[in-house]
């Protein structure tokens, strides 16, 4: 973590006292918010927020770790739902918990060290956010706004963040962007490869990196970056492919085979129809989620894929068209990464509450960018999610009308965030300006 902090810490040019003083203040602000994270993990989550109600996934991680400790080989000897890098985050707490026993032996000690791991990953996100905010704005106020937003979002999310490994996905994603914005492009591509090897979805950011390389004339980076990313993925995947290729393939195929999860936008119309017609909706628990039966998976999955691919294409095109204004490419990179991650959640067959963790560092940087409405709506989205899971999950599982309305509102808020990010006021102003310019040109040609 210290090495990461040193690599990401902004190096302000010059030897003047003012620059050194500003850098010292930046480090003090960052350090203060690292202490805030410690307070959140040690006090807020332990004494004021739920802890034990949502630890089911940690038991699954512990089971994987126990298999590995017993000498079984992942994907070959036992099925794994996640890509290979996830196994490192599952096994490390098991390795430490057998040496430093806290809260008792076995799962209790593992649980403690898993929470410690998520705390360190959150601190890594704080450092990456601070480095990015300072590099873009060089403003103590904007740095504070970004880190304060992150802290508020973490609390609004609740201690779900410490019982899921998705905080690792969020860290790798924001670290990749931080390295890229600060000019460490090769490192950024490596982190993107790590992200793919953990949760696959960060690969959607790769086209944004390529677009930047193209517009900045970085021809070598256009092949070197993807090569480094591919090499990183190969190093992590190949040992498991050689020993259990069918198991690795099965874990990827299961991503497409997942049924329609009840919290997803695609499932809600079915649930509302059943609720209003007083017809029970059949469900089951499969792939670790609560799903509709029949899942309508093929038809809905195809429709969702078409919508998502269309939205991704629009996002990449709009990002490309934003490059005449090259001064804001860093903010636009964060913005369009947020759009892509949000679109994946909104139009996916699965909307697990922990997926919102991926967005927390990204939306935190939207606050100093002036997008206060986006930050406010996102905080409300997180609070609504916590209200539903885990506090009122039993009512949601019974599809009570109030909880359906609550989850629908949560999903609508995320869609509004997506729309607000896609259509900035500045974008609309530029669109109207271009339209007026074309009309004037047309009138002049006619005259």
Residue-wise pLDDT tens digits, 355-381: 999 999 999 999 988 889 999 999 999
Give CB contacts under 8 A, 24+ apart, made by 326-335. 326/215, 329/212, 329/215, 330/132, 330/135, 330/136, 330/181, 331/136, 331/369, 333/177, 333/180, 333/181, 333/208, 333/212, 334/132, 334/177, 334/362, 334/365, 334/366, 334/369, 335/366, 335/369, 335/421, 335/424
Q: Is 174 among the domain residues?
A: yes
Q: Is 241 among the domain residues?
A: no
Give the whole-angstrom CA distance, residue 399 versus residue 394: 9
| Number of domains, the chain | 1
pLDDT of the residue at 447: 58
Q: Binning pLDDT at 50, 70 and 90, where does residue 11 land?
A: very low
Q: Binning pLDDT at 50, 70 and 90, where does residue 441 land?
A: low
**pLDDT, tens only, 183-199:** 999 999 999 999 999 99
pLDDT of the residue at 433: 58
DSSP state, residue 138 = -
pLDDT of the residue at 275: 83
pLDDT of the residue at 16: 43
pLDDT of the residue at 14: 38
Provide the residue range defining the domain that includes 114: 2-236+255-446
267 CB contacts (<8 Å, ≥6 apart)?
260, 261, 292
Alpha helices in 206-296, H assignment, sequence order: 206-215, 219-257, 268-276
Query: Under the phi-then-psi rule, with left for phi > 0, alpha for psi from -120 to 50, and beta for the rest, what region is 265?
Result: alpha
Which two tokens mark 416?
């509004």
Q: Is 249 among the domain residues?
A: no
Closest CA to 218 of 185, 193, 192: 185
Percent of the chain residues past pLDDT 70, beyond the cut: 86
Phi, psi of 286 (to 5 degrees): -150, 145
pTM above 0.85, yes or no: yes
Is 284 strand, coil or helix? strand
pLDDT of the residue at 91: 96
Q: Is 245 among the domain residues?
A: no
Give the whole-angstrom CA distance, residue 283 versus residue 292: 4
Q: Is 243 among the domain residues?
A: no
Highest mean pLDDT among 178-192, 258-272, 421-435: 178-192
7 burial via Cβ count (<10 Å: 0-12, 13-18, 19+)? middle
Compute the average pLDDT of residues 234-238.
97
Q: Binning pLDDT at 50, 70 and 90, where does residue 127 land?
A: very high
**pLDDT, tens only, 28-37:** 999 999 999 9
- The answer to whether residue 294 scores a pLDDT higher than 70 is no
Contact 177, 133 (CB under 8 A): no
Give the whole-angstrom CA distance, residue 413 versus residue 60: 31
Compute the average pLDDT of residues 310-321.
93
Give the whole-angstrom CA distance, residue 410 versus residue 429: 29
Q: How far is CA 221 from CA 80, 197, 210, 321, in A?
A: 34, 21, 8, 21
Alpha helices in 138-218, H assignment, sequence order: 140-157, 166-181, 185-199, 206-215
**pLDDT, tens only, 40-96:** 999 999 887 765 556 678 999 999 999 999 999 999 999 998 999 999 999 999 999
Q: Binning pLDDT at 50, 70 and 90, where does residue 146 land?
A: very high
């Amino acid at each position: 973590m210290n090495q990461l902090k040193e690599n990401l810490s902004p190096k302000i040019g010059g030897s003047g006292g003012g620059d050194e003083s500003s850098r010292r203040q930046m480090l003090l602000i960052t350090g203060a918010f690292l202490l805030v994270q410690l307070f959140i993990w040690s006090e807020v989550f332990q004494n004021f927020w739920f802890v034990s109600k949502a630890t089911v996934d940690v038991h699954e991680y512990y089971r994987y770790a126990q298999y590995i400790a017993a000498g079984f080989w992942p994907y070959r000897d036992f099925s794994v739902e996640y890509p290979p890098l996830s196994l490192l985050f599952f096994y490390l707490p098991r390795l430490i918990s057998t040496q430093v026993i806290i809260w008792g032996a076995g799962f209790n000690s593992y649980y403690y060290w898993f929470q410690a791991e998520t705390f360190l990953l959150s601190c890594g996100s704080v450092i990456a956010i601070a480095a990015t905010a300072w590099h873009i704005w060089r403003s103590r106020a904007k740095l504070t706004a970004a880190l304060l937003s992150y802290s508020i979002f973490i609390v609004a999310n609740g201690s779900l963040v410490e019982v899921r490994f998705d905080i690792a996905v969020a860290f790798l994603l924001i670290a990749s962007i931080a390295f890229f914005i600060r000019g460490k492009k090769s490192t950024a591509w490596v982190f993107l490869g790590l992200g793919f090897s953990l949760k696959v979805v960060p690969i959607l950011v790769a086209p944004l990196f390529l677009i930047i390389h193209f517009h900045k004339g970085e021809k070598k980076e256009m092949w070197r970056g993807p090569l480094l990313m591919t090499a990183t993925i190969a190093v992590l995947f190949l040992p498991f492919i050689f020993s259990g290729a069918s198991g690795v393939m099965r874990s990827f195929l299961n991503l497409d085979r997942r049924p329609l999860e009840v919290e997803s936008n695609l499932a809600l119309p079915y649930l509302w129809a059943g609720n209003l017609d007083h017809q029970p909706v059949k469900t089951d628990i499969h792939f670790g989620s609560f799903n509709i039966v029949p899942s309508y998976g093929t038809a809905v999955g195809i429709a969702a894929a078409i919508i998502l691919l269309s939205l991704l294409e629009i996002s990449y095109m709009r990002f490309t068209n934003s490059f005449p204004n090259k001064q804001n490419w860093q903010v636009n990179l964060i913005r369009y990464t947020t759009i892509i991650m949000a679109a994946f959640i909104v139009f996916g067959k699965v909307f697990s509450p922990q997926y919102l963790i991926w967005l927390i560092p990204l939306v935190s940087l939207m606050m100093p960018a002036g997008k206060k409405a986006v930050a406010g709506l996102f905080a409300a989205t997180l609070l609504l999610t916590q209200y539903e899971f885990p506090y009122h999950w039993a009512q949601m599982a019974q599809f009570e009308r109030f909880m359906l309305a609550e989850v629908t509102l949560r999903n609508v808020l995320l869609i509004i965030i997506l729309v607000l990010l896609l259509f900035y006021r500045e974008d609309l102003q530029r669109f109207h300006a271009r339209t007026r310019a074309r009309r004037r040109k047309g009138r002049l040609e006619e005259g």
